[in-house]
Amino acid sequence: MLKNSLFWKIFISYAGLLCFCLALTGYFISKIIQGYYLDPLTRTMESDMKTVIGYLLLALAITLAIGFVLIRASTFSLVKITQIAKNFARGNFARKAEISSSGEMGALANAINVMGVELQSRMQVILDDKNKLNAIMANMNDAVIVTDLQERIMLINNAAKMMFDLSAVVLNRDCLWEKIRNEKLHNLVKETIKTQTARTSEIEIPAPGKKLLQIHLSPLQVEKNSQGVLLVFHDITELRKLENVRRDFVANVSHELRTPLASIKGYVETLLENDSLRQEDIQEFLRVIMKHSQRLDNLIKDILELSRLDSHDLKTELTLMDVLPCIENISAQYQELCVRKNQTIDLDIPHQIPLIETNEYLFRQLLTNLLDNAVKYTTSGGKIGLKVEPVSTSIRFEISDTGIGIPQEHIPRIFERFYRVDPARSREMGGTGLGLSIVKHIVLLHHGHIQVESTVNAGTTFSITIPLQQARHMA
């Protein structure tokens, strides 16, 4: 093994060259001395020394030239392997070290090739993991930001950029406080860096659009060394709104139930405690009890209906049906009611209506709730209108009246549960405050839309557009 090593090859080459140089020099010196003794008169020491030095320089030049050629030949394989290693360092694994030698140089070439294959495999694994991480980060709904200990942004996903309306972020240079100006957020980051403990909090950002965010901060550690902070943001704006809606709903239901129950209880106690009441008074009390009982029944039915629509727990699926008989039946009922209230009802219904994908029960609920409101809030001598008009791939229903109207500031909220423009008047007329909310749910269930136009003391028009077929059945 030693005779095949690079060191011994170079050593033997130089030793041989040195011996050759010494032998050549000795030969020339012997010739000079021999000539000096043969012809001492014509020779001088100065000329002899110049001749010796010249021969020495010539021998040295020949030795260096031969040595360069020998070393170049010996190190050619090493230079080639070095170039391959540099290519590996740059990520180029296409070239391999091809050394035919069976000695140490061949073993080194084989080791370099094995190392290249292993490096390529590991780099591919790292690249795959990086691509997976990028895909996960890009498709996360939650916003994720990673900062270092100086609060420079090291990583940010698309959700975070959209949440905070950040167009461009230069990683490892831009600071968190430069991009997101929120004092509470920065205090939380500083506390997390200082204490190295995870924490959860809520922050509110004003733009773009007021949002309530839940933020989880965790210290980012690598081998027990702190590297920065991981921030995960979750938008809980809609969740908090739903919580408030549910809280208000429970409070409103409790209030709506308490009022008729209190009236019923009061009248029943009066009937039980007074045996001397006149028959006329008893009948009046029973009529009041019946009125409030009916109000409770309507309220409970509307609450159950609204709950059913919220959960999409429909007993019958939407099917294509001819709604003309249903519209004619409903309009006939309200014609009789309008006559009793000295109101007129104008019908504009075509003789043929395209088939609509709907449910008869829901369709009746939709028209009945709107016509009920139109009749309730229109005084004697007023006019109610029902218009049906096919429009392209949809159908539009317009229910209008010449009643008291709705002030413009109330229109955006009239579809909220238990919202009343005039609470006292609504309760007086037996309304539950849920009718329009049910209407909106039914329209949304049909993937339609509803518009309201109203003028105080002039009337209101509800315009509803419903597709003839739902999207899942369209080509």
Mean pLDDT of 97-119: 71
For residues 307-329, b (16+ Cβ closer than 10 Å) or e, as one string?
A: eebeeeeeeeebeeeebbebbee
Average pLDDT over residues 113-126: 80
Q: How far apart are CA 46 and CA 43, in angstroms?
A: 9
DSSP 14-70: HHHHHHHHHHHHHHHHHHHHHHHHH-TTT--HHHHHHHHHHHHHHHHHHHHHHHHHH
Residues of the chain with pLDDT > 90, as a percent, come to 6
pLDDT band at 48 (very low <50, low <70, confident <90, very high): low
What fold, for 319-473?
A: Heat Shock Protein 90 (3.30.565)
The stretch 367-376 carries a mean pLDDT of: 88
If you average pLDDT over residues 433-439, what whole number do you get?
Answer: 83
pLDDT at 464: 92
Q: What is the CATH number of domain 240-311?
A: 1.10.287.130
SS3 assignment, position 171: coil
Altogether, the residues listed in the chain come to a count of 475
CB 406 within 8 A of CB 454: yes
Q: Which segment of 139-143, 186-190, 322-326, 395-399 scores lowest on mean pLDDT?
A: 139-143
Question: How does residue 50 score in pLDDT terms, banded at 50, 70 and 90?
Answer: low
Does an H or E element contain 269, and which? Answer: helix 237-273
Confidence of residue 112 (pLDDT cuts 50, 70, 90): confident
| % of the chain surpassing 70 pLDDT | 76
**pLDDT above 80: residue 10:** no
Closest CA to 102 of 175, 3, 197, 28: 3
Across residues 310-320, what is the average pLDDT? 66
Instruction: Give the per-residue pLDDT at 398.
Output: 92
pLDDT at 372: 86
pLDDT > 90? residue 463: yes
Residue type at position 54: G
Condensed to tens digits (0 to 9), the pLDDT of residues 236-257 reads 888 888 777 777 777 777 767 7
Higher confidence at residue 24 or residue 362? Answer: 362
**What is the CA 348 to chain-centroid distance, rounded?**
48
Q: What integer pLDDT is reported at residue 397 of this predicted model?
A: 92
**How do the domains of the chain map onto residue ranges?**
1-139, 141-235, 240-311, 319-473
What is the H or E stretch that residue 372 is in? Answer: helix 360-376
Q: What is the pLDDT of residue 431?
A: 65
- pLDDT band at residue 1, thresholds of 50, 70 and 90? very low
Of residues 149, 143, 153, the one with CA closest to residue 178: 153
Please say if the pLDDT value at position 231 is more than 50.
Answer: yes
| pLDDT tens-digit map of 162-175 | 888 888 888 888 88
Asked if pLDDT for residue 475 goes beyond 50, the answer is no
Burial class (CB in 10 A: 0-12, 13-18, 19+), 143: buried
The model's confidence at residue 29, banded by pLDDT at 50, 70 and 90, is: low
In angstroms, the CA 99 to CA 92 distance is 19
Q: Per the confidence metrics, is the pTM higher than 0.85?
A: no
CA 167 to CA 37: how far, in whole Å? 97
Higher pLDDT, 32 or 344: 344
Tell me the two tokens of residue 140.
């996360």
Whether residue 328 is predicted with pLDDT greater than 60 in this model: the reply is: yes
Contact yes or no for 417/302 (Cβ under 8 A): no
**Residues paired with 459 in a beta bridge:** 455
Mean pLDDT of the chain, nearest integer: 78
The CATH number of 141-235, from 1.50.10.20, 3.40.50.2300, 3.10.105.10, 3.30.450.20, is: 3.30.450.20
Per-residue pLDDT band for 396 (boundaries 50, 70, 90) equals very high
